[in-house]
Chain A
Amino acid sequence: MTATASPARGTPEGPRVTAGGGDERLLRVSPLRRLLGRPELGAVVGAVAVFLFFSFTADSFLRPSSIGTVLYAASILGIMAVPVALLMIGGEFDLSAGVMVTSSALISSMFSFQMTANVWVGVLVSLLVTLGLGAFNGIMLTRTRLPSFIITLGTFLMLTGLNLGLTKLISGTVSTKTIGDMEGFPAARKLFASSLTIGGVDLKVTILWWAALVALASWILLRTRYGNWIFAVGGNADAARAVGVPVRGTKIGLYMGVALCAWVAGQHLLFSFDVVQSGEGVGNELKYIVAAVIGGCLITGGYGSAVGSAVGAFIFGMTDKGIVYAEWNPDWFQFFLGAMLLLATLLNAWVRKRAEASR
């Protein structure tokens, strides 16, 4: 039964008994090896490389103000990359995530404007409706057993159409009416779109939202039953069901997590200004997926981390702004991103192989 012992035996450490286990077949795993086993390692290496690259090529990249800007760009994406990563670990995609952010912003803006005098009512209604959209995705998926690609492509198209159609129908134009003079607006702006100055660096509040979400998601993934189930439904849904994991509930919960974060991002979109453009958000769903994949999530599910998605989003932010600071044509951004995606995926695959061999 020991035939599958690791091929990485030839390390100079030699056979050594570990502290707790006391098994001579188990070589001591060096800290470096342990590090290699982390899903986000590839992304961290990539992030360091990108950071160094722009530090040398763009003079203004290392200024404090630039750091605030980079982090802001990363947080906008990162807030959504977190739940998308969890969903990917759970084995599914959500192509409607990008436009759902816009939908959420539109709902709270238009509901506030048309129905009440207080923006908080709109914000709350938006939360409920957006969670409903997430639940719709999840329930459709688990009921029909169609691939999530198809289901959420459907919701993506429908939401894109609804965003434009309903906004034009209600406001007469492609953007909503301003809600800047409504009751509760300053407080809501403070919560979703203010900035704080820490040590001379101007930091947007979305960075805090992002950090909190990453921490929460990591806690859920690694330390709760629900997290165990997320890995299991993504890694082998049939096996999970067979040992009593509520597969449907887990997946619906994941889609509602995407919706919750879309609500946060949507409220930021609204309260950064006071109007919303109804055509926004299309294409962002792919960026979230790219950030999650760069962060080490396995596209087939069952493997990945929330921290990884954050590092992926950070790479995004650095690339996005670094190109501007280096005074290049921003057209290069997409090329950069594509190359980064390929490199990160290759690196992740290589790391995973090494990690498995090192066991």
Chain B
Amino acid sequence: MTAGTAETAGTGGAAETGGTAGTALVELDGVAKFYGNIRALEGVSLEVHAGEISCVLGDNGAGKSTLIKIIAGLHRHDAGDLLIDGVTTTLGSPREALDRGIATVYQDLAVVPLMPVWRNFFLGSEPTKGRGPFKRLDVTLMRETTRAALLRMGIDLRDVDQPIGTLSGGERQCVAIARAVHFGAKVLVLDEPTAALGVKQSGVVLKYVAAARDAGLGVVLITHNPHHAYLVGDRFVLLKRGAMAGSHTKDSITLDELTRQMAGGSELEELSHELERATGPEPDVTASNVSASDGTAPGEASGKPLRPA
């Protein structure tokens, strides 16, 4: 499925880093979402282009998962516009999103632990053979495709018959990504794929994300980690308490600046001053040191108590 799109994406992605050429595969424009009286998201805009990775960054509870659940069809937005291929749409169910080529890898992984890998891989889109009452699952095709699709992603699975719950977290994540890539998705949405993964596993997952981009998919990558984001991302949207705190393309921002903004900018400088005063003999704690030594959770480093009231 990827051969044709890969080429167009290769050229398209390189040519339009500015992002204004061509319609976005998915575009959010001033989108809002309320859970009862909780404002989870308001006035958020995002563009996803073929062959590009759009990163969404933000603290815990910033509304990142809510954002992607709107794109995935799990939640309906309350205000603003969701455009797919330039047409305003509302998605009624995950099925609709899938049918339009939007595949999502959820934060909570969305697999059925007790089911074998191959059944999970095809869940919801099972191929069948035969007619009428003899219509049945094409089990051999399912098994072989699962094995092959995983191998293509570089995952060498022991046994596609084992319950997916017995795989390691990284392997499960990879199955979910391979599944999304396999189903010819135009858009791949990943909610914190590298959270809870080791350094090496994170690298593996990022490699698959890049592979999906190179195959011509538009990718939305959610992460806490600015280092990961900067490594692969083409655009960056920063969320803070449900609102947009910034939107950048890769050539308009540096890693340090991205890290600083994510960690709360001036808040972090304030933090370093405060730490200086508190610890005394450690005068060289600077903003860049804090973020570099604790790359995985710079958001937490800013700490709620330090937020200017």
Contact = CB atoms under 8 A, between A and B. Distances in A.
Interface of A: 1-5, 18, 21, 23, 25-26, 219, 223-225, 227-229, 231-232, 235-236, 238-246, 298, 302-303, 356, 359
B49 interface: no
B136 to A, nearest CB: 4
Contact of B110 (A2, A224, A239, A303): A239
A245 B115 CA distance: 14
28 contacts: A4-B167, A18-B159, A21-B147, A21-B159, A23-B159, A224-B135, A224-B136, A224-B137, A225-B137, A228-B119, A231-B112, A231-B119, A232-B123, A235-B114, A235-B115, A236-B112, A240-B123, A241-B94, A242-B106, A243-B110, A244-B93, A244-B95, A244-B98, A244-B124, A302-B112, A302-B113, A303-B114, A356-B163
Contacts of B201: 1
Contacts of B126: 225, 228
A225 to B, nearest CB: 4
B204 A1 contact: yes
B112 A240 contact: yes
B170 A302 contact: no
Nearest to B133: A219
Interface string B109-133: 1111111000100111110100000
Nearest to A25: B158
Interface of B: 72, 74, 93-95, 98-99, 104, 106, 108-115, 119, 122-126, 128, 135-137, 139, 147, 155-159, 162-163, 166-168, 170-171, 174, 201, 204
A238 B74 CA distance: 10
The 9 closest A-B pairs by CB, nearest first: A244-B124, A235-B112, A243-B124, A244-B95, A239-B110, A223-B136, A242-B110, A26-B158, A225-B126
B170 A1 contact: yes
Contacts of B109: 239
Contacts of A18: 159
Contact of B115 (A224, A225, A231): A231
Contacts of A235: 112-115
Contacts of B128: 224-225
Contact of B125 (A4, A224, A244): A244
Contacts of A241: 74, 93-94
B137 A244 contact: no
B94 A228 contact: no
